[in-house]
Amino acid sequence: MDKKTKMLNELKLLGTNIIDYLRKGEPPKLQVPSRITSNIVYDPVARCYVLGDKYKLRSAGNIAHVKKIAQTMCVATFGKELAEKSQFATLREMYYYGEGWPCGKFVDQQESDMVAEDLEVMLGCKREDFGIYPEESGAGVFGDVLVREPDGNEIHAEKAGMGGYTIPPIVDDIEFVRCGAKRLIAVETLGYYHRLVQERAYKRFDALIVGLKGQASRATRRMIRRLHGELKLPVYVFTDGDPWGSFIAMVVISGSAKAAHVNKELATPNAIWIGVTPEDITKYKLPTDKFNDQDFKRIEELKKDPRYQGKFWQKQLELWEKMGAKSEQQGLARHGLSYVVEKYLPDKIREHEPNFKPKPA
């Protein structure tokens, strides 16, 4: 059964349950998995955050729940119509579309976004499966991969312009026709994404270069997960040398608490963070800025995060705390603009692939 059919069946079951309550003369009820912090747990087997087994019950017999139930059913109907017509809408469009509903209008977009998330956790489907996605510009993929979009159009990521192939909001709708790359390098900043493209790192490393644009969107994380899982590409994550950069990498690796209900489709637990590490700052004599109070506070938070409990991560956090300094990816430019491709990245990749040899420029 494909995802669309599964999702429509789940929506039908949701509607049927509501009708059954009404036929019995009972107030309709919805059982919604709880997304409170205490119900978000780290699964050491899946190596990502997942939802626990706590639920909250909403009943139309409680006046405080009536509006939320009405909103949920309206969003479910909206998603069903989108899916049946193979149409898409942004979360922002859904919020304004709700202005035309006879009941259940949203106070603000935060409220409508939360209802969409409720529907995700209730049905076990991503909101993207309904055709609802965030208002965000897609990150880029550059390298030797040919993709086929739902309309049959085929796009090669090396021939789609300097920005590469733009990751679509609904990643599961595209097909990987052919891929000549042997690895994937995800880059935090678009500046360094373009640097690697300009230096032809995709050719020299037989790699796909993915721009994260800071904290990676769900679509970007899903794309990385698919490229790794389906094409067996090792994934390397290259970020700024500070606790915030390491967290950007960790969200790619183990997912986020907010997306606990869909992390198993978004996270890439085998992805490897290759820096900039605290050791790199010293080894490559990178320019630094001193930590501020927020940086030290962030380290203390990460020390308690279950995703950082391994020896490697604890060591990095301790080194940063002792060093009290951070560096950006762009700091590597002190050795020359090509240094990241000539020296830094080959060294980092060889730590995990000892026989790796970059191709000549």
3-class SS of residue 176: strand
Instruction: Give Cα separations from 57 to 64, 69, 70, 157, 260 (angstroms).
Output: 12, 11, 14, 47, 20
Give me the sheet containing 165-166, strands edge to edge. 165-166, 140-142, 207-211, 183-187, 235-238, 272-275
Q: Which residue has the tokens 């790192």?
A: 201
Query: Contact, 349 vs 356, CB < 8 A?
Result: yes
89 strand-pairing partners: 132
CA distance 97 to 105: 9
CA atoms within 13 A on the CB side of 270: 13
Question: Residue 281 corresponds to which tokens in the numbers above?
Answer: 């700052």
Is 49 in the active site? no
Sign of CA dihedral 186, 188, 189, 195: negative
CA distance 219 to 294: 29
Q: Establish whether the linkage from the previous residue to 45 is cis, with ω within 30° of 0.
A: no
Beta strand ranges found along the chain (DSSP E): 29-33, 40-43, 48-51, 55-59, 89-90, 132-133, 140-142, 145-148, 154-156, 165-166, 175-179, 183-187, 207-211, 235-238, 272-275, 289-290, 325-326
Candidate list 96, 165, 202, 236, residue with the active-site label? 96
Query: Contact, 12 vs 2, CB < 8 A?
Result: no
CA distance 222 to 262: 10
3-class SS of residue 350: helix
Q: Which residues are catalytic?
A: 96
